[in-house]
Amino acid sequence: MKKVVLGTLLIALAGSTAAFAQGGAATGAATGAVGGAIVGGPAGAAVGATVGAVAGGIADDSRPRLRTYVTGQRHHSYRYENDLRVGADLPSSGVTYYEVPREYGVTKYRYTVVNDRTVLVDPGTHRIVEIID
């Protein structure tokens, strides 16, 4: 019973931090696999890796394509005076948020350009969840 409770807690923590992972899908997959293995052994590790990869943001191999896409859009770069980092909250006004094209598989987030860097943002909180470049 303790193992199940501990595993559930670790998965919950992994899920909440995977969205803020800088490493994208690879980091999310690794975190999910560890949490899943604690609860369900090898089968749990496989399921956890899949869930973690989805929660991790833009897949590592798609990041260069997204950077090229965003550069081609020529969006205005918002000047952010604070430390640009995952977890930072952007203002709700003055920043323009754009939908991520479906081909990148991350439809729940928006992107914007801050200090000439592409970032993924949670549209409900305006919190940075991933810095693409």
Cα 102 from Cα 41, distance rounded (Å): 33
Encode the chain (133 residues) as per-residue pLDDT tens digits.
545 444 444 454 444 444 444 455 545 555 555 555 566 666 655 555 444 433 558 999 999 999 999 999 999 999 999 999 999 999 989 999 999 999 998 999 999 999 999 999 999 999 999 999 7
SS3 92: coil
What pLDDT was estimated at residue 47?
A: 52
Give the relative orientation of helices 2-18 and 25-55 as an angle to the nearest 10 degrees.
100
Where are the alpha helices (H) located in 19-84, listed in sequence order?
A: 25-55, 63-73
Cα 54 from Cα 132, distance rounded (Å): 16
What pLDDT was estimated at residue 16?
A: 46
